[in-house]
Structure 1
Amino acid sequence: MKMAFYGSSLLSSYWNGAATYYRGMLSELATHGWDITFYEPDAFDRQKHRDIEPPDYAKVVVYDATPEACRAVIAEAVKADVVVKANGVGVFDDELLDGVMDASDPQALRIYWDVDAPATLAELRQAPDHVLRRRLPELDFVLTYGGGPPVVSAYEAMGAPVCRPVYNALDPSTHHPVPPQDRFRADLNFLGNRLPDREARVERFFLEPAARNPDARYIIGGSGWETKGLPANVTHIGHVGTADHNAFNSSAKAVLNIARDSMAEVGFSPATRVFEAAGAGACLITDAWEGVELFLAPDEEVLVARDGQDVTEHLRALTPERSRAIGEAARRRILAGHTYARRAVEVDQLLRGALAARRERSAA
């Protein structure tokens, strides 16, 4: 079975939070016999910041960010049994969606895979003539990496035949405990790029608590924070490649997860960072969002904070022994129920079942 996947980047996590998700999902789908080609543009300096080499589980086609190159990769869609257009490619998103929908073989499955559903839905509500909204009824599936019932009902109300969440998960071969490193040692570590719809929450849950707790050490990783005024006890270390995520998560007393505004409001949207931290056995503190208990048990496998004061109180009460116990419990829970191997079984069954049903109808 051939899959053509049009996304932001498989090779680089630079300004590309979906990289871990794509790698985890596609590497596991390949074990089920899927022949995957991933099409990604040479854009946003991602190719200059690759953190993996082209993998053996997918053929990666890097194309120039030009209309001509875009049309060339669109034409390749006809060869696939399943054609996936992901959101947030960053260049020619509308052209890619329209193009691959039209170029696909009539018997192929057409899928929109949304790794930022709350933001996409907000955009669609403001633009009734949006290309995605126009093409939703022609899709076979909308798959999302979060959002739960609110996202499913919203997409289906707009015309999607079927919307199915395929949540973030853990690849234990890439995210796991490692020895601590001095450069990442701190009381609280946070990793995330500086984005307009998350900055206020980072101030509330990370920077303001740090300023009120000057004797503790805080580390913030990610791009964009170099021009932000930071408290004296906060160290900014810039972009942290995926090869360093395990050490980043394994070296602090606790690791903080902060959802973006839209994802926090919708709920049921655990970020890749949640599973990466749990996989490394880190003690995770997360801002509160609906549905967290579906993935980790509060107070046992994760600490939940309603505001910055909760973050401070959790951190002050956290002993090394409790930090270790929470991290180990989180790792056990995620390994038992939330791996990409499990997610891939769901997706493989969904796609193969839909393809078989389509072929039966065609043969009748």
Structure 2
Amino acid sequence: MSESKTVVIFGLSLSSSWGNGHATTFRALIRGLNADGHQVLFLERDVPWYAGHRDLPDPDFCRLAYYTDQETVLDRYGAEILKADAVIVGSYVPDGIELIDRLSALGPKRLCFYDIDTPVTLAKLDAGDEEFLARRQIPLFDAYFSFSGGEVLDRLEREYGASRAVALYCSVDADRYGPTGEALTWDLGYLGTYSPDRQPVLETLLIEPARRLPHMRFVVAGPQYPETIDWPANVERIDHLPPDEHASFYSRQRFTLNVTRADMIAAGWSPSVRLFEAAACDVPIISDVWRGLDDLLPDGEAIFLARAAQDVVRVLTETGETERLAVAASARQRVLGAHTGLARARELVEALQDEAILRRA
């Protein structure tokens, strides 16, 4: 274990997993940091849409503080920000551009960015949309930690001027995600907030198979789906599923579906947190296809890939129980070996210990 570090994180949300994947990503990472003796202060903007849906208002693995404006939070925590070994700003933080400029002016030891939406961020910047990060700010960071790996890292350094781009995939909290041993309820399920660019794939890989297999049971869990969607009678809907219920949800599926946002598919090497969580729960995954996925979970060995409805139908109807369990076990072994919150926390600390990014002390 490395020497204890102090880290200050400004993130979209830690307290609420409602309608975002950031909270579970941060929770797994920070729990991993805490397990290795590192100290984290997480600063979250107090906004009504998360305040009304907080499923972790008072974590026991870090300090969590809410703020209403940047001037107050920087006045109150300015000394800790300057003493910290690293200050990390996450993607989609409200008024992020102003916050980054203020933090850069303070001059912490290391100022880093953790982009949990890298392909979306770059697509927005390419379109001139600087919602939470300005293109001019990317060179300000001592390290740009990216949800996406592969060629995206080269692009960040070559095209956007990042001093150092480092892959920091999301991860799973292995203590909270695992098989529960419950009886199977559904043949295929999906967990995810509604997204317009994911919906056509969900239509192809779950809704259409449900129509073709009326004797099988399907489920979709997640908020914000329009009332106009025509769900087949054998598709159960669950609006919001808090993280404490995820393991049970996955464990009751014969197969689970992974659907990736269009920008993530275009970028490649962008595994979602749901992919790792499902694998940790020992449920075999059927996924859409993108570059880099086979490096993480080889097709036919640790995952089933599907491009069309008939591919899903074939997996659901022709996969024997021995093969189903073997694929699930292979994925679980790979994820628990390299993609836990503890593993990711150690990758982060290793990067922070690199003297090449210590430019502000």
Q: Normalised by the size of structure 1, how large is the TM-score?
A: 0.90
Q: What is the CA-CA distance between 1:191 and the residue it aligns to?
A: 0.5
Q: Which residue of 1 aligns with 2:207?
A: 207
Q: What is the CA-CA distance between 1:12 and the residue it aligns to?
A: 1.5
Structure 2 matches for 1:1-364, cutoff 5 A? 1-64=5-68, 66=69, 69=72, 72=75, 75=78, 77-89=81-93, 91-105=94-108, 108-127=109-128, 131-146=133-148, 148-156=149-157, 157-180=159-182, 185-225=185-225, 227=227, 228-354=229-355, 358=359
Paired positions, count: 353
- Residues 287 and 31 of structure 1, relative CA distance in 2, 3 Å threshold: same
The one-character-per-residue Cα deviations of 1:244-279 (angstroms, maximum 9, x if unpaired) are 110111001100000011111211111101111110
Q: Which amino acid aligns with 2:15?
A: L
Worse-matched range after superposition: 80-89 or 331-340? 331-340
Q: Which amino acid aligns with 1:139?
A: F
Q: What is the CA-CA distance between 1:33 and the residue it aligns to?
A: 3.6
Q: Which amino acid aligns with 2:104?
A: M
- Please, which runs of 5 or more residues in structure 1 have no aligned partner? none
Q: Which amino acid aligns with 1:269?
A: S
Mapped to 1, the partners of 2:299 and 2:287 lie a distance apart of 10
Q: What is the CA-CA distance between 1:129 and the residue it aligns to?
A: 7.4
Mapped to 1, the partners of 2:338 and 2:247 lie a distance apart of 20
The one-character-per-residue Cα deviations of 1:336-356 (angstroms, maximum 9, x if unpaired) are 232222222221121022389
SS at match of 1:45: helix
Q: Which amino acid aligns with 1:158?
A: Y
Residue pair 1:189, 1:219 contacting (<8 A) in 2 also: yes
Residue pair 2:124, 2:130 contacting (<8 A) in 1 also: no
Mapped to 2, the partners of 1:311 and 1:243 lie a distance apart of 28
- Structure 1's consecutive aligned runs of 4 or more residues displaced over 6 angstroms after TM superposition are none
Residue pair 2:269, 2:290 contacting (<8 A) in 1 also: yes
CA RMSD of aligned residues (A): 2.3
- Please, which runs of 5 or more residues in structure 2 have no aligned partner? none
Mapped to 2, the partners of 1:293 and 1:245 lie a distance apart of 25
Residue pair 2:143, 2:357 contacting (<8 A) in 1 also: no
Q: What is the CA-CA distance between 1:96 and the residue it aligns to?
A: 1.9
Mapped to 2, the partners of 1:266 and 1:307 lie a distance apart of 21
Mapped to 1, the partners of 2:275 and 2:49 lie a distance apart of 26
Mapped to 2, the partners of 1:234 and 1:240 lie a distance apart of 16
Q: Which amino acid aligns with 1:88?
A: Y
Q: What is the CA-CA distance between 1:132 and the residue it aligns to?
A: 2.5
Residue pair 1:201, 1:260 contacting (<8 A) in 2 also: no
Mapped to 1, the partners of 2:311 and 2:357 lie a distance apart of 51
Mapped to 1, the partners of 2:152 and 2:301 lie a distance apart of 28
Q: What is the CA-CA distance between 1:119 and the residue it aligns to?
A: 0.4
Mapped to 2, the partners of 1:116 and 1:73 lie a distance apart of 29
Mapped to 2, the partners of 1:29 and 1:264 lie a distance apart of 29
Residue pair 2:210, 2:218 contacting (<8 A) in 1 also: yes
SS at match of 2:114: strand
- Residues 358 and 280 of structure 1, relative CA distance in 2, 3 Å threshold: same
Q: Normalised by the size of structure 2, how large is the TM-score?
A: 0.90
Q: Which amino acid aligns with 1:176?
A: G
Percent sequence identity is 31
Mapped to 1, the partners of 2:233 and 2:239 lie a distance apart of 16
Residue pair 2:150, 2:268 contacting (<8 A) in 1 also: no
Q: What is the CA-CA distance between 1:190 and the residue it aligns to?
A: 0.3
Tell me which of the two structures has the higher relative contact order, counting C-alpha pairs closer than 8 angstroms and 6 or more residues apart.
2
Residue pair 1:83, 1:111 contacting (<8 A) in 2 also: yes
The one-character-per-residue Cα deviations of 1:166-201 (angstroms, maximum 9, x if unpaired) are 11223210111103267xx11100011111222222
Residue pair 2:286, 2:306 contacting (<8 A) in 1 also: yes
SS at match of 1:225: coil
Residue pair 1:137, 1:161 contacting (<8 A) in 2 also: yes
SS at match of 1:55: coil
SS at match of 1:54: coil
SS at match of 1:155: helix
SS at match of 2:113: strand
SS at match of 2:87: strand
Residue pair 1:97, 1:132 contacting (<8 A) in 2 also: no
SS at match of 1:306: coil
SS at match of 1:49: coil
